[in-house]
A and B are shown apart, each in its own frame.
Chain A
Amino acid sequence: MRKGLLINLDRCSGCDSCIVACKLENDLPLGHFYNKVIAVGPTGTFPNVEKYWLPSQCQQCENPACVHVCPTAASYRDPKTGMVLIDKEKCIGCQYCIYACPYGVRQFNEDAGVVQKCTLCAQITADGDGVPACVHNCNCGARFFGDYDDPESDVSRELAKYPEEAIHTLPDPNNAKPLTRYILSPKFASWKELV
């Protein structure tokens, strides 16, 4: 099982509802985030300009560097769901996982003394029924959650609607295998590698 997010950038309006929903659901203090929406662009020369929004959060890598460097196995990949999670009881706050994450989507919570990141709302999704708050509250219906290995899941069905050239992942520095897929059709904007 490989549970993760699919984000359709053709639909994303950059409204930041996912950020707000995430902060409310996970009770994140001021300045702390599990996800952010980044504007990519505008690029090009008028009138041929383009821009898209890139919601960013833990990419649920299948070969996560954060897990490999963790000295206490606090960062782990759940073998049942494929979700990359943090056992806060085991985290010693060394922050090596922050240095090792290629996407910079982990933060250190100084009050709690632990590293935190997107959990795909495990408190909601662990029983296999619910969806993360960002997916539930996406105004544009741009976010999908499910098992990439299940052809009947939301992510697989949405993915099946698009050709290969519209399906993207963030650049991968060394075989981290980010699971999160982004859909961006060339008619809306060209995908930027950002590195």
Chain B
Amino acid sequence: MAIQWPLVLFSLLAGAGGAMLAFAGLSQLLGGSRTVRRRAVWCALALFVIGGLCSVAHLASPLNAISAVTNLLSFSGISIELMLLGASFIAGAAYLVLTREEGRDGAVRVVAVLAVIFGVAIGFFCGHGYVIDAQPTWGTETLPLAYLGTSLALGAFAYALVAAATKTPADKAASAEELGGKLWPAVLVCAVVDAVGILAYGLFLGLDAVAAQGVLFWGGAVACGVVGVLACAIAGMTALAAKAPAALAVAGVACAAIGGVALRMLMWACATGYLNLFSHGIPSVMLNL
């Protein structure tokens, strides 16, 4: 099946935005810099908007997005994605409004919890909409797990980049203080989910299928999405995190982005259909080829 680029970009960008939002929520709950959180939430909102625009580009006409919005309660895969996109955007916007001034701790904590929930959920459900019986190579819960993992990894490294680019009053990168000093362990957890998701989906597809898409799977998904992401996350647990946090985060973002795109391209490239009758010519031979 042809790769649907608008959907590839939408799911990765919106999922990564969700992960950044979730990290901001965690930072609010565990401790960290208010400036980092607000900058990360702004980035998340930007990713939601860009991802949403990519999604609209998939439709026959941009105006058709209005029909999708007015049918939210259909609870189809698309409507669930839209609901989570809207909920995440509202949570992010509410967080920015509430944190403009000090002293709304109770409400901010509630929004932070919602941000974590919505932020993680959007990454998963952007993949769950593809779990369809008519597509044997999509009919597995390892697919949304892989979508979630790649989104979390990209969002986690992007958050680490924002933290690295933000200076503390002592003119040091804010990374060390984020999430109560547990930023890089949290990034490592996301990298592990990413690796498990990609490898689980690859195992589901089988060696023959992934071998036919060798560059995408071994080069993009495994080398960059698994090995590269894990290497950057593990390096973040060493002294390198204090010496060059920005470089580490940039490398992580690059690897996670390549891995996330490759995973989604693989999904489309391996789609065969259950019984794709119209793919056969006239006359065609289904057996005895």
Contacts and interface: CB of A to CB of B under 8 A. Distances in A.
Interface of A: 14, 16, 19, 33, 36-43, 54, 56, 65, 68-73, 90-96, 99-105, 107, 110, 113-114, 170-171, 173-174, 176, 192, 194-195
A65 B134 contact: yes
A102 B275 contact: yes
B274 A103 contact: yes
A92 B287 contact: no
Contacts of A100: 132, 134-135
Interface of B: 1, 4, 58-61, 64-65, 67-68, 71, 74, 76-79, 129-130, 132-135, 138, 271, 273-280, 282-288
25 contacts: A33-B278, A36-B282, A38-B280, A38-B283, A43-B287, A56-B277, A65-B133, A70-B74, A92-B61, A92-B67, A93-B60, A93-B64, A94-B64, A96-B129, A99-B1, A99-B130, A99-B134, A100-B132, A100-B135, A102-B134, A102-B273, A104-B274, A104-B279, A171-B274, A173-B274
A114 B288 contact: no
B245 to A, nearest CB: 41
B66 to A, nearest CB: 9
A63 B106 CA distance: 48
> Which of B60, B129, B138 gathers the greatest number of chain A CB atoms within 10 Å?
B60
A188 B262 CA distance: 48
Contacts of B71: 71-73
A104 B60 contact: no
A77 B78 CA distance: 20
Given A36-B280, A72-B71, A102 B60 contact: no
Main secondary structure of the interface of A (DSSP, over half): loop
The 8 closest A-B pairs by CB, nearest first: A93-B60, A113-B60, A104-B276, A92-B64, A174-B133, A71-B78, A56-B277, A102-B134
A179 to B, nearest CB: 16
Given A39-B284, A39-B285, A96-B78, A102 B59 contact: no
B282 A19 contact: yes
A75 to B, nearest CB: 10
Given A14-B283, A19-B282, A94-B78, A173 B134 contact: yes
A110 B287 CA distance: 31
Given A38-B277, A54-B277, A96-B76, 13 more contacts: A36-B282, A56-B277, A65-B132, A69-B132, A73-B74, A92-B64, A94-B64, A94-B68, A103-B277, A105-B278, A114-B60, A171-B274, A194-B275
Contacts of A73: 71, 74
Contact of A69 (B4, B60, B76): B76
A112 to B, nearest CB: 8
